A and B are shown apart, each in its own frame.
Chain A
Amino acid sequence: MRRLSGRFRSALIIGLQGIRARKMRTLLSMVSLFLGVLAVVVVQAGASIADKALLSDIELASAVDGTTIIGMPMEPKATDIVLDTVDGRTDAVAMLGLTAMIGEPNVTPVNPGAAPFDEDWGGGVVCYGTGPCEPADTLPKGQAVEVRLTAMTGDVRPFRPLRPRTGQWLEFGTVPAMAPRLVVNREAAKGFERYKVPAEMRIGGATANITPQFVGVVDDGDIQPRAYVRLDELATWLPSAGVADPNSGGEMQVLVAPGSPVEQVLTTKLKAIGSETWVQTVDTKKEMESQLKLLRLVFLAMASLVLLIGVAGILNVGLATVGERVEEFALRRAVGTPRMLLAGIVLAETLLTGLFTAAVAIGLSAAGLRAVSVLFGDSEPFLKDLQFPWEAGIAGIIAGLVAGILGGFIPALRAAGIPIATVMRA
């Protein structure tokens, strides 16, 4: 072990001396290798970032991996069972989807059908505080915005990582407010910014018109205008019969954490009353990985090709260098340096060159990523606060080491085979 350590240190010292003595050659080797290592780092970094960006978008719109989503139509009995079952729990949250109109009464909203504000979906309904909704076509256009309203029994963010933009998120630990607090998504915020509407909300089945408080804006990945509200704050104005009204066009979802008993309890209870449910466990990563795997392999193959060209460069420079150092290697053998150590010296030089190159490529990639994040983070949210993925750093180091070994192997063999008699004949 001690002998190995001595040889390793000797190879390292002599290798570093060799690199220092031939700076230009080392630089040329690095240049030829740089693009290859950079390609590997960029492909790996790009793939990791794309994975995360895609995954985070899908999680935003659906739910985090492992979450079980139980969907069911809005029926009075089913709603009661759901609310009873998830009440006070943190491992499950029920989300009731309703339609709400905010703004002037008795008008057709600017976006019938809760359509995105730059699209026209046609149709739409208008709802009154005391009764069911009716088609909006019959009413004149006015200053009102139609939104999808999601009423929640608890904090949904452990299941769907909604991204806060401005203001604050709903606080579930406090006493319910009389004026329900709303957090709107970015599309809804755009609508309220564009159309100055009175803060009066109408929901089908509500006992009266509601004056909501807007407390924040989130990014939920939804293209429709949507508002989030605490169910208990809405319940002050909306009796359970109204919440569960099948004619309101509502929908109900329960998000359940992995390993929670709620799924089994709820499906059993709902089955008992004959309510139709559909259950889905989110496994986005697995589905996405199979799709991205091929693409990543194709890019990695291309990067490997560029790396191979870099290896050819380092090999070329390495062979030329050994040719120039014949006397030095012969002399080193004469003073007792074993052949293995001579090979080790050449390999140490190419390995160190590979590592230096990898360090430069990783450093530049990280700096480039930071610059892209700063420059384009505002316009492209997925670029905001980007971190250089450690997988890309490891891939770069491995690429540098592999290139160093491949490029240095033949020169190392040549160096080890130089006869000592070279110094005698000189």
Chain B
Amino acid sequence: MTALIELTGITKVLKGQQQPRTILDGVDLTVQAGESVAIVGRSGSGKSTLLSVLGLFDRADEGSYLLAGQDISRLPERRAAKLRSSHFGFVFQRFFLLKHLTAAQNVSMALVNGQGWLPRRERRARVLQALEQVGIAHLAKNRPARMSGGEQQRVAIARALVRDPMVLLADEPTGALDTETGTAVIDALLAATERGCGLVLVTHDRDHAARMGRTLDLVDGVLTQRVTA
């Protein structure tokens, strides 16, 4: 079966300083559809850079990146933007909700992005469906200021899910939340994997990492499989 994501020998070197620094050093990673993978590591170990490469925010200096069997290592920005829109969903530590927009409008942001046009009725239906998936459809008309941190993060997850992505990339999604709310957010992310979506979660939280199918350690740019006791 073709892997959803297949990284081979991904290397990223940070240039422009006195001495180039290797951030990712020959990373190999495979993620299957519906699989959840946690990546843990110390600050500065390259977790966010790996996520940037995975999410096509940044390009690796070496190595290959296959998405559902297609080589996307050297995509031009225009096509990368299209893939980000259609295949990826992103959840960040800070929720990045626009405070002047309602929850529904924030979710709709991922649909009104110049990558195809949906009629208003269809847009609204998909936004409501995404909000329902994370259990906050009743907050559709609320602005972020009137929502708790957990609710705001769920809106951010709904924004990531609204285009039915193949891959969910989450960068410390529970970092700004208490344990209970964090657990609920992880539940929402795992629910997406049940629908066949691959999940790559970058986290410092060992408990949340333990709930993923696999946990990988990133140490000084080298990715290794964690061996559970």
Contact = CB atoms under 8 A, between A and B. Distances in A.
A6 B116 contact: yes
Interface string B59-90: 00000000000000000011001111110001
Kindly list the 9 A-B residue pairs having the minimum CB-CB distance in the complex, ordered from nearest: A336-B85, A6-B117, A21-B100, A341-B114, A420-B57, A7-B114, A337-B113, A336-B84, A335-B110
Given A17-B101, A426-B96, 12 more contacts: A5-B117, A6-B114, A6-B117, A11-B114, A17-B100, A21-B98, A335-B110, A336-B81, A336-B86, A337-B81, A424-B171, A426-B93
Contact of A425 (B48, B83, B100): B48
Contact of B96 (A9, A331, A425): A331
Interface residues of B, number: 33
Interface string A329-341: 0011111111111
Contacts of B48: 424-425
B55 interface: yes
A327 B96 contact: yes
Interface of A is mostly: helix
Nearest to B169: A334
B113 A3 contact: no
Contacts of B85: 335-337
A104 B138 CA distance: 98
B117 A339 contact: no
Contacts of B159: 335
A10 interface: yes
Given A332-B113, A335-B159, A336-B81, A426 B92 contact: yes
Contacts of B100: 17, 20-21
Contacts of A336: 81-86, 110, 113-115
B93 to A, nearest CB: 8
Contacts of A14: 112
B84 A424 contact: no
Nearest to B77: A339
B27 interface: no
Among A2, A5, A7, A420: residue with most chain B CB under 10 A: A420
Interface of B is mostly: loop
B58 interface: yes
A335 B84 contact: yes
Contacts of A155: none
> How extensive is the interface on chain A, given as a class?
20 to 34
A15 to B, nearest CB: 11
Nearest to A18: B100
Interface in B45-61: 48, 51-52, 55, 57-58
Interface in B100-120: 100-101, 105, 109-110, 112-117
B211 interface: no
A425 B92 CA distance: 10
Interface of A: 2-3, 5-7, 9-11, 13-14, 17, 20-21, 327-328, 331-341, 344, 419-421, 423-426
B210 to A, nearest CB: 24
B84 A9 contact: no
Contacts of A5: 117
B57 A421 contact: yes
B94 interface: yes
Nearest to B83: A336
11 contacts: A2-B117, A17-B101, A331-B96, A336-B110, A336-B114, A336-B115, A337-B114, A338-B78, A421-B58, A423-B90, A426-B92
Contacts of B113: 10, 332, 335-337, 341
Contacts of A420: 52, 57-58
Given A335-B110, A336-B113, A17 B105 contact: yes
Given A17-B100, A21-B100, A331-B96, A424 B51 contact: yes
Contacts of A2: 117
A3 B116 contact: yes
Nearest to B99: A21
A209 B51 CA distance: 110
Contact of A10 (B58, B83, B117): B117
A162 to B, nearest CB: 60
B51 A10 contact: no
Contacts of A425: 48
Interface in B181-218: none
A183 B112 CA distance: 71
Contacts of A426: 92-94, 96
A421 B52 CA distance: 7
B90 A334 contact: yes
A21 B98 CA distance: 10
Contacts of B114: 3, 6-7, 10-11, 336-338, 340-341, 344
B101 A335 contact: no
Given A3-B116, A420-B57, A335 B105 contact: no
Contacts of B115: 6, 336-338
